[in-house]
Amino acid sequence: MTALQVRRMTYAALYLAIAMVLPFLTGQIPEIGAMLCPMHIPALLCGFMCGWSWGAMVGFISPLLRSVIFGMPAMFPEAVSMAFELAVYGGMAGLLYKKLPRRKWVTYAVLLASMVAGRVVWGTVRLLLMGLSGGTFTWALFLAGAVTNAIPGIILQLVLIPVLVMAMDRAGLSLNGPETTERFT
């Protein structure tokens, strides 16, 4: 195992730990705690910083592990559908960020594309799970779960994640891409 692989694994473990703990912190604000989508942030950051495979793994594992350990989110259908959503977040963020030039606008574009794709996957998985269990999942439920109820989290992600990604990249903490990355312009 190379030093780079060990660093990626260590960073991914840190992001997984953050995904386990962050919902406890945001849960202290009952009115909007869940709306802040706290587990999305570590999955996205892991993808940006460690690459698509680590981001996808952390994204997939975190809601399932949190459900098993803490009972939240409920395993079915919440944690299962969230696992696929967060896997897409981390995987897509890592893949696009590695392939595209390091520019401010690209960071935002990658984040937006990852968020939209993840929410579409969440809705699709949720529809399948509800169909298999005899439940219903309507267009209104999709919009409420993916957009309306998540507006505070969407805003938080759009403000926080690009700033953190650019700062960590400048500090040389990104393990996704060439060893020396271009400065943001």
- Which CATH number covers residue 162? 1.10.1760.20
Work out the pLDDT band at 120, boundaries 50, 70, 90.
Answer: very high
If 0-12 CB within 10 Å is exposed, 13-18 middle and 19+ buried, where does residue 150 land? buried
> 150 in a domain, yes or no?
yes
- Name the domain count of the chain: 1
For the chain, strand residue ranges (E) read none
127-172 tens-digit pLDDT? 999 989 989 888 888 988 889 889 999 999 999 999 999 999 999 9
> 63 in a domain, yes or no?
yes
For residue 136, the model assigns a pLDDT of 87
**Domain region containing 157:** 3-170
CB atoms within 10 A of CB 78: 16
> 176 in a domain, yes or no?
no
1-18 tens-digit pLDDT? 899 999 999 999 999 999
Distance between CA 90 and CA 110 in Å, rounded?
11
Work out the pLDDT band at 180, boundaries 50, 70, 90.
Answer: very low
Distance between CA 91 and CA 86 in Å, rounded?
8
Work out the pLDDT band at 182, boundaries 50, 70, 90.
Answer: very low
Q: Which tokens sit at 43? A: 């999955």
For residue 184, the model assigns a pLDDT of 44
pTM confidence score: 0.93
Tell whether omega for the bond before 77 is within 30 degrees of 0, i.e. cis: yes
> 184 in a domain, yes or no?
no
The sign one gets for the Cα dihedral 44, 45, 48, 53 is negative
> 131 in a domain, yes or no?
yes
Work out the pLDDT band at 102, boundaries 50, 70, 90.
Answer: confident
**Mean pLDDT computed over every residue of the chain:** 92
> 182 in a domain, yes or no?
no
31-77 tens-digit pLDDT? 788 899 999 999 999 999 999 999 999 999 999 999 999 999 999 99
49 neighbors 177 (Cβ within 8 angstroms): no
> 177 in a domain, yes or no?
no
For residue 179, the model assigns a pLDDT of 52
Is the pLDDT reported for residue 185 higher than 80?
no
For residue 178, the model assigns a pLDDT of 60
Distance between CA 126 and CA 69 in Å, rounded?
22
For residue 183, the model assigns a pLDDT of 41
> 38 in a domain, yes or no?
yes
